[in-house]
Structure formats: C-alpha cells, structure tokens
A = this chain, B = another copy of it.
Amino acid sequence: MNSSPKVPMPTLERLATYLRYLIDLDASHVETISSTDVERQTGINAAQFRKDLSYFGEFGKPGVGYNVSELQARIARILKIDQMQPVIVVGAGNLGSALIGYPGLQEHKFHIAAAFDRDPAKIGRLQNDLVVLDESSLGEVNAKIGARIAILCVPANAAQHVANDAIAAGVRVILNFAPIILKVPERVVVRNVSFLQELAVLSYHLSSEAPAT
C-alpha cells in the first residue's frame, strides 16, 4: 500500500512536473535518464528530484539511472492518475472549451465525461465530441458518471453556487478558475488557478527591475 503519511504539497507539484517530462521522453523513445538530465530539462535540481522520489521508496539503479517508462508508471500510480478518471467541466465558454479540447488531459488520464453550461445558446452544442448539457442537470448526470473531480470555468458570481451543486452531486475536488475563494466543506479540496493573480505578481516584479539596461 505504500501509504506515505504526509507528502508536502510542493513535492506533489514537482511529481506532476516530472511526469509531464517523462511522458515527453517516453514519446521520444528515450529509455533511461539520470537525475542530472532531469535537472537540465526541468530546472529542478537533481538532489531535490531524488529527495522527492525518496518519499515513495526505491527508484532507479546506481550508475544506470532511471527507466523512463517505469518511473512514469510509478509516478502516475503515486498521483493516482494511472487509471482513467472522469471529470466534469462546468462552464463551456472559451476557457471551458480550451480545457475540453486540451490533449494533455487525456494523456494524464483525465477523461472529461460531461460539460455543462447554463446558457441556452451553449446547451446542446457539440464541443470536441461532447454535447454541452444543461447545468441544472448536473446532479442527475453525475449520479451516473460518478465524477469526483470538477473543473469550474464559470464567472465569479456563479462559482459558489455551481460548487455547491457539484459537491452535492458527489464532487470531492475542485479546480476553480473563477477569481473567488470558494467556501466548501472540510472534506472537499479546492485548487485555484488565477491568472490575474499570477499577472499581478509578475507586474510587481517588473517594477523591481533596474531602471537602466
């Protein structure tokens, strides 16, 4: 079972980065890598890479390195993305559409099982082989799908309401793109993706530039 009690969040985030890199290597038929290769390619230093893996047991062979497809499979298993997982997307605007059509999701075994919107102009339209469903049917539809992951691509003023519905429908983790902080029960985990926040932080860095070049 390898139940690693408490893995730090940054380690999990880096594991996802390694996995991304390994998938690319595997696609290019690279068989073995060293931690130095990882450092050169991802910018994460070799010692950190080895430490991150050490939470989960033994990896790699001294003097040989890491077998790419084996390491990929093990990290996927650690992150529980070794089996297809259904995901629902709420909000089928440009952002929702970008996600629905994003090839990387499938690669990481996230299967978008249903997309919802409340705009009558969007409901019933086909998006990447998915028919956009009426948001009000979320509970009913997810009773069949059983998705525990929801991606919210709705405007800020709709997000809390949609989150409540998703949670009532069995969702346990939410990836939230709306620029508000959702209030959720303790058992639910939310990750916020805020590009505005990212931009604001970047903007601050611009100002600390040396004035002369």
For residue A17, which residue of chain B has the nearest CB?
A: B197
**CB-based contact A104/B196 at 8 Å:** yes
Q: A202 contacts the other chain (Cβ, under 8 Å)?
A: yes
Chain B residues positioned under 8 Å from A202 (CB to CB): 149, 173-175, 189, 191
**CB-based contact B104/A200 at 8 Å:** no
Q: A9 contacts the other chain (Cβ, under 8 Å)?
A: yes
Chain B residues positioned under 8 Å from A54 (CB to CB): none
Within 8 A of B (CB), among A75-120: 78-81, 85, 87, 93-95, 97-99, 101-102, 104-105, 108, 110
**CB-based contact A194/B16 at 8 Å:** yes
**CB-based contact B206/A80 at 8 Å:** yes
> Given that A41-B181, A94-B98 are contacting pairs, would A85 and B203 also be in contact in the complex, using a CB cutoff of 8 Å?
yes
The size class of the interface chain A forms with chain B is 35 or more
Q: A43 contacts the other chain (Cβ, under 8 Å)?
A: yes
Q: A212 contacts the other chain (Cβ, under 8 Å)?
A: no
A196 to B110, CA, bound (A): 9
Chain B residues positioned under 8 Å from A16 (CB to CB): 194, 196-197, 200-201
For residue A128, which residue of chain B has the nearest CB?
A: B94
For residue A44, which residue of chain B has the nearest CB?
A: B181
**CB-based contact A198/B191 at 8 Å:** yes
Chain B residues positioned under 8 Å from A42 (CB to CB): 181
> Given that A79-B204, A181-B41 are contacting pairs, would A199 and B149 also be in contact in the complex, using a CB cutoff of 8 Å?
yes
> Can you list 16 A-B pairs, Cβ within 8 angstroms, ordered by A?
A9-B201, A12-B204, A15-B200, A16-B196, A78-B204, A80-B203, A85-B203, A93-B98, A95-B102, A105-B196, A108-B196, A108-B199, A108-B200, A110-B199, A173-B205, A189-B205
